[in-house]
A = this chain, B = another copy of it.
């Protein structure tokens, strides 16, 4: 917008006294109508809260009250007979309180005498969208990016959904960030999105490419201590905040999987992160710096984040948060927690969960992830973290997430980021009642399906600590044999399962890669001894002999066969249970979920067949008689390919 600078100059020279009326900039044209009193109040985030209540609340009058004593985004809801008062210190708190009240209405809970007091565990509850400028979404299984052509109605619904569970930040683009993210054109697009999300209390963030000063700015270097580089970032920050005054900050994947970073210029992660943090500081922006690093030379990928970041503990600026994936490898169906969480002492940390099911059946499998995230919090104290991030499972599919039940993971992420002490069951119950029906004959069995679903997925994919035996590229089906010549070893399954004639598993004990030593001493001792190591991660830490005696009394090989079998049976049972839900579900959603559960049951069989027949080539032992035997042929499965990219959901799995 142009300003009339010359006018001001003329004024100075002629010494005009100011006119009597208030100043006007003319932007209202001839529509200088005064707003009625009733309409006046509806503005900003508080206005959103009012509108949501006016639109959807069917009970008596609700007062939205500002009250200073309430912390952060917290709120209270009190009712006494007809009148309900929602109090909060800030507008966002009022909005969250309004959604809480609407949730109670939707769940048919009584609101006659409420005395609720809520306060989020984390100030920052943020989605990471891995959306690319061309509209693809990395590991996106629900269509294309909602941000490429941001439709106002869709943006509004997205913002409502996020705010309804307390999510208050969105990183709009892929951590594998294209430099274009910071072009002026893109920043205008970001501004438009920010304007649409702001009324719902959601700030936008961007993933940045560390080499942007070169690729966007045309400089010779992106060295973080170079004066021109710092100047470029400062000017860029000024541009960003000129457009988006409440811009949240940057997410950075640096020196990881080929992305540029400070190490390219002989600097450390701290040098890089602190430079950016310093640039954003005047605007209260933050830097989320990812600890997801590994290189092909190291003997154990699981060790590397720790090795790179521990020496930097205490060196990061106070507006840097180190963003650490929940496990040390990469969002596997089951991983132990990343040892960095208990090791770093002087560094603000946040956990990165993956809501999109990159490694858990994409948008074909019903896998409710709250139990996996709760398992993480069993080991890592929520209070030791500053924030919680989730890699979104959202695309432009009509139903947002591809699988109707995948919506529950978006929901659960938000609820846990608000309150990690909620139980998986409680969240599933809330979600089912709001999304489908409160009918007990529906809620009870489907809640059980949800609660069992993650362990079932572990069983039919990777039980007993097995990890990363996925197909190359799309991470959907099994390819434990996948090891093309010349591919870096840590991108092939044999690197992880290490099956041989003796047994299988990655020796990470003190005799092996020593990874156990990254955990606190008592846990290290527990994990280091095969007798005390929890069996659900036993091949993560040990090379387990095929005849090793498990707690069940079975040999390890037989136990493995049983686990895969259990998974198949569970997956089939989910389908059977769902088929009984037809009376309670509309036709479209019933059929869409049914189709996917059928795929899931077939995929479970595919996993069982592929893994047992392949590992049997090492174990040379028979599959026990008390489990079902694989129905597919190993040689045919080994030739099978699903011709998809990492940006789409497969129609189904094995089709021979």
With beta carbons under 8 angstroms apart, the residue of B21, B143, B400, B410 that contacts A27 is B400
CA distance A400 to B28 in the complex (A): 9
Is A33 in contact with B20, judged by CB distance below 8 angstroms?
no
Residues of B within 8 A of A31 (CB): 157, 160-161, 164, 434
With beta carbons under 8 angstroms apart, the residue of B33, B105, B161 that contacts A105 is B33
A401 to chain B, nearest CB (A): 8
A20 to chain B, nearest CB (A): 6
Residue A72 lies at the interface, judged by CB distance under 8 Å to chain B: no
Copies of this protein in the assembly total 2
Is A54 in contact with B32, judged by CB distance below 8 angstroms?
no
If A30-B161, A152-B152 touch, does A7 touch B592 (CB 8 Å cutoff)?
A: yes
Segment at the interface with B among A187-195, A323-331, A384-392, A555-563: A187-195
CA distance A20 to B153 in the complex (A): 29
Q: Mark A190-221, 1 if CB is under 8 A from B, else 0.
A: 01100110000000000000000000000000
Q: Which interface residue of A16, A32, A585, A590 has the most chain B CB atoms within 10 A?
A: A590
Q: Mark A579-597, 1 if CB is under 8 A from B, else 0.
A: 0001111111111101100
With beta carbons under 8 angstroms apart, the residue of B36, B55, B595 that contacts A58 is B36
If A4-B595, A26-B398 touch, does A33 touch B102 (CB 8 Å cutoff)?
A: yes
CA distance A3 to B592 in the complex (A): 10
Is A651 in contact with B6, judged by CB distance below 8 angstroms?
yes
Q: How many A residues face the partner with a CB closer than 8 A?
A: 82
Residues of B within 8 A of A226 (CB): none
Residue A645 lies at the interface, judged by CB distance under 8 Å to chain B: no
CA distance A586 to B16 in the complex (A): 13
Q: Which of chain B's residues has its CB closest to A56's CB?
A: B33
Residues of B within 8 A of A6 (CB): 595, 651
If A397-B1, A397-B2 touch, does A195 touch B152 (CB 8 Å cutoff)?
A: yes
A40 to chain B, nearest CB (A): 9
Q: Mark A127-152, 1 if CB is under 8 A from B, else 0.
A: 00000000000000001000011111
Q: Which of chain B's residues has its CB closest to A153's CB?
A: B195
Residue A431 lies at the interface, judged by CB distance under 8 Å to chain B: yes
Is A192 in contact with B399, judged by CB distance below 8 angstroms?
no
Residues of B within 8 A of A598 (CB): 10
Residue A24 lies at the interface, judged by CB distance under 8 Å to chain B: yes
Is B143 in contact with A2, judged by CB distance below 8 angstroms?
yes
Residues of B within 8 A of A398 (CB): 1-3, 25-27
CA distance A39 to B53 in the complex (A): 10
Is A106 in contact with B32, judged by CB distance below 8 angstroms?
yes
With beta carbons under 8 angstroms apart, the residue of B29, B58, B152 that contacts A161 is B29
CA distance A16 to B22 in the complex (A): 69
CA distance A371 to B31 in the complex (A): 23
CA distance A34 to B108 in the complex (A): 13
Residue A110 lies at the interface, judged by CB distance under 8 Å to chain B: no
Residues of B within 8 A of A174 (CB): none
Is A4 in contact with B590, judged by CB distance below 8 angstroms?
no
Is A592 in contact with B195, judged by CB distance below 8 angstroms?
no
Residue A549 lies at the interface, judged by CB distance under 8 Å to chain B: no
A19-B587, A31-B157, A33-B105 given; name 4 further pairs at CB < 8 Å. A24-B589, A31-B164, A34-B58, A151-B192
What are the 3 closest A-B residue pairs judged by CB atoms, nearest first?
A26-B399, A21-B586, A149-B188
* Complex A-B: 9 CB contacts under 8 Å: A6-B651, A10-B594, A20-B583, A25-B399, A30-B106, A30-B431, A31-B157, A31-B164, A38-B54
